[in-house]
Structure 1
Amino acid sequence: MSAWDNDGDGVSARVILVVALVAALALVVGLAAGTFIGRSSQPSLATLAGQSRDLAAALVVQLEPAGPSYAAGVVDGAVSDPAAYADAQERVADVTRGLGRDRAALEPLDPAAYARAGEALGALAAAAAEPVPADAFAALLAEALAALAALAGT
C-alpha cells in the first residue's frame, strides 16, 4: 500500500509521518542556511577595529578647532569673546562625552591609550571651565589631541 493511498476515512499515519519528516528536514536546512548566511555577513575583527579607529579620528577632528576658538575667546587669561570661549568649551565637552559614549568601541583598541585620552580630556575640560592663559590651554589641547591620535592609530 502506498503512503498516499487513502480510502477517504482521514489521513493515514504514513502521510503524517512523511509530512513530519519533510517539515523536520526543511527546518534543519533552514537553520543551517541561516547560520551560514549570518556568519558570512558578520563584520570581521579588522573591520570593527577600523570603525573604532575612525570614531577616535572623528573626535580628533571635532576637538582641533577648540584651539583657535579658545585663543580668540581668551586673551591674557580673561574672556574677550564669550561666543568663541563658549565654542571652545562646548567642543571640549562634546568630545569628552563622545569618548565616554563610544567607550565600548574605543577602549578595547588600546586600554592604556583610552585611559590617557580620558585623563588628558579631563585636564583640558578643567582648564576650559575657567579662563586660563591661552598657551596653557594650547599645551593641554596638544596633549589631548596626541592622546586621541594615539587611540586612533595615527
Structure 2
Amino acid sequence: MDERAVEDLLDLSFNKPRTFLALSLLYDDLDWSGAVHHVDHIIPRSRAERRVLMGTNLPEHRIREIMASVDRLGNLQLLPSQENLEKSDIPFESWITGRSDGYKTKHLIAHTPDLWTEAMLPEFVREREKLIRQRLMALTGKVVA
C-alpha cells in the first residue's frame, strides 16, 4: 500500500464493494468470528438530507457540501449490528458524548466536539480522513504529518 492506494481508499463511499474492506483495515482488534458488523454513517444520513438541512437555514452551497460529504469513507465506521441498531438516527453529538475517549480513538473520531454536528460534516470528514490516512500509512510503516 502506498500513498496513492490510501487516497483511492479514502475516495470510497457508502455501498461501494470495497468500502467494508477499507474500513476493516482500521479495526485490527475486531473479533470477526463473532458479531456481524455493519457499515454505519457516523453522522446519520437522515440528518444530512436536503429537506432537513433546508430547515436549518444553511446557504445552498453549504447544503451541497454537506450532502457531498455524508457518504464519504470519512463519515463511515464499522459497528456491530446491535450497536448500529441502538445508535439508529440519534443525533451524533448526543450519541458520541456517551462514548469514552478510547471509543473515539478506536473509531478515529477527532476529540473536537465543535465538529460533531451535521452542519460541520465536511470539516468532520476532512479531519477524520486525516486520521484514517495516518492509520493506513502506519500500516505501511510510513508516517504522515
Q: Do both share a fold (TM > 0.5)?
A: no
TM-score between both structures, scaled by the size of structure 2: 0.31
**Structure possessing the higher relative contact order (Cα contacts under 8 Å, 6 or more residues apart):** 2
Whose Rg is larger?
Answer: 1
**If each structure's helix is expressed as a fraction of its own residues, which one has the higher value?**
1
